[in-house]
């Protein structure tokens, strides 16, 4: 069983994802294109490519195809009927299908472990925290310094230990979290 706060955390951990409303629903978008929303009765709606939507319908018996004017556009399932791991994967797939190709490719490269040349994040923060920071576009300590501790902790994969190590690394360079 997942909650709106878990959906929010998964969606907002993705690069350039924003939260807003769409027809009164909590909605998430990337560069103005919606990829996820939650209806007032607790159904999560994900804008997914055809194959991903078909796989989701097969894996989640309480879910259904989502169509707009007869055209399939995604998948809908009660939020309480999906586990967190599956929700995270579906949110990422929905985001990747709506994000600009270059932005989606950059996240895919990050997920594959490709480090960018100007990345100076300390290895001691761990792989999950590194992926989360890179996925949020925080590839340097200078960019990390523009965030607060709470903002970093809100990223899926970044915990108190990683924030402590980042704060120490920033301090060594004469910087601090916002």
pLDDT (tens, 9 = 90+) of the chain, 178 residues, equals: 788 999 998 998 888 899 999 999 999 999 999 999 999 999 999 999 999 999 999 999 999 999 999 899 999 999 999 999 999 999 999 999 999 998 888 778 777 766 666 788 998 998 888 888 887 878 889 999 999 999 999 888 899 999 999 999 999 999 999 9
Yes or no: is domain 115-172 CATH 1.10.150.20?
yes
User: pTM of the predicted model, to two decimals?
Assistant: 0.71
- CA dist list (Å): 8 to 19, 84, 125, 126, 154: 8, 12, 23, 23, 10
Q: Judge whether 46 and 29 are in contact, CB under 8 Å.
A: no
Yes or no: is domain 4-108 CATH 3.30.300.30?
no
The residues of the chain that CATH labels 1.10.150.20 are 115-172
The residues of the chain that CATH labels 3.90.1150.30 are 4-108
Residue in this structure with the two tokens 């078909």, named with its chain if needed: 54
Structural element, H or E, at residue 34:
strand 33-38
């Amino acid at each position: 069983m997942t909650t709106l706060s878990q959906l929010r955390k998964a969606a907002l951990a993705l690069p350039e994802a924003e939260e807003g409303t769409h027809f009164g629903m909590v909605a998430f978008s990337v560069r103005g294109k919606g990829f996820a929303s939650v209806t007032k009765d607790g159904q999560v709606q994900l804008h997914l490519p055809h194959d991903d939507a078909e796989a989701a319908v097969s894996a989640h018996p309480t879910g259904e195809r989502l169509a707009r004017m007869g055209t399939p556009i995604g998948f809908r399932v009660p939020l309480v009927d999906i586990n967190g791991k599956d929700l995270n994967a579906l949110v990422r797939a929905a985001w990747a299908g709506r994000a600009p190709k270059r932005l989606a490719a950059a996240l895919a490269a990050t997920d594959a472990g490709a480090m960018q040349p100007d990345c100076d994040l300390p290895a001691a923060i761990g792989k999950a925290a590194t992926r989360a920071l890179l996925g949020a576009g925080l590839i340097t300590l200078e960019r990390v310094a523009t965030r607060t501790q709470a903002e970093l902790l809100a990223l899926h994969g970044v915990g108190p230990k990683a924030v402590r190590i980042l704060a120490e690394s920033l301090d060594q360079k004469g910087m601090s979290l916002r």
